[in-house]
């Protein structure tokens, strides 16, 4: 599970960079006015993420791209796991949902475990 944390980190950093880029462009667009943080809205952030996504994002998990229509990572595996009894370290997690493939091969898409 730990090796998949990098995908979450990359997605978070991609969002942070989109916000920083959008804020910088808004600040430079009008130097005469005071910065208004409410001018950053979800539509603008989404557009900035799509702009960054066009060539791929160089993250710690390698080059990452998201499908623009679904938001799913392209050629990366994403899984949701559940643990029946968290305090019991002998119980293995069970995959309940996944998208993509980890090691090549055809991508079966997203489906429940």
pLDDT of 38: 76
The reply to whether 11 and 54 lie within a common domain is yes
71 located within any domain: no
The reply to whether 82 and 60 lie within a common domain is no
List CB contacts of 6: < 8 A, sequence separation 6 or more.
59, 60, 61
Separation between Cα atoms, residue 68 and residue 76, nearest integer Å: 15
> Where in the sequence is the domain holding 48, given as residue range(s)?
1-66
Number of domains in the chain: 2
Q: 63: how many CB neighbours lie within 10 A of its CB?
A: 13
pLDDT of 63: 85
Instruction: Give yes or no for a contact between 42 and 68, defined as CB atoms under 8 angstroms apart.
Output: no
What is the total residue count of the chain? 113
Q: Mean of the pLDDT values across residues 34-47?
A: 80
Is pTM beyond 0.95? Reply is no
The reply to whether 55 and 110 lie within a common domain is no
Check whether 64 has a pLDDT greater than 80: yes
Maximum Cα interatomic distance, the chain, rounded to a whole number of Å? 62
The reply to whether 9 and 40 lie within a common domain is yes
The reply to whether 91 and 54 lie within a common domain is no
H or E element, residue 47? helix 42-53
Q: Mean of the pLDDT values across residues 73-96?
A: 82
Q: Mean of the pLDDT values across residues 92-112?
A: 76
Separation between Cα atoms, residue 82 and residue 69, nearest integer Å: 27
Check whether 81 has a pLDDT greater than 60: yes
pLDDT class of 40 with cuts at 50, 70, 90: confident
The reply to whether 96 and 57 lie within a common domain is no
pLDDT class of 104 with cuts at 50, 70, 90: low
86 located within any domain: yes
The reply to whether 103 and 58 lie within a common domain is no
């Amino acid at each position: 599970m730990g090796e998949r944390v990098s995908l979450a980190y990359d997605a978070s950093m991609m969002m942070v960079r989109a916000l920083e880029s959008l804020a910088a462009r808004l600040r430079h667009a009008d130097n005469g006015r005071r910065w208004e943080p409410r001018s950053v809205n979800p539509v603008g952030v989404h557009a900035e993420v799509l702009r960054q996504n066009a060539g791929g994002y160089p993250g710690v998990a390698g080059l990452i791209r998201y499908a623009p229509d679904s938001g799913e990572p392209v050629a990366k595996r994403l899984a949701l796991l559940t643990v029946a009894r968290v305090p019991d370290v002998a119980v293995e997690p069970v995959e309940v949902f996944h998208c993509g493939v980890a090691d090549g091969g055809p991508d079966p898409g997203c489906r429940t475990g």
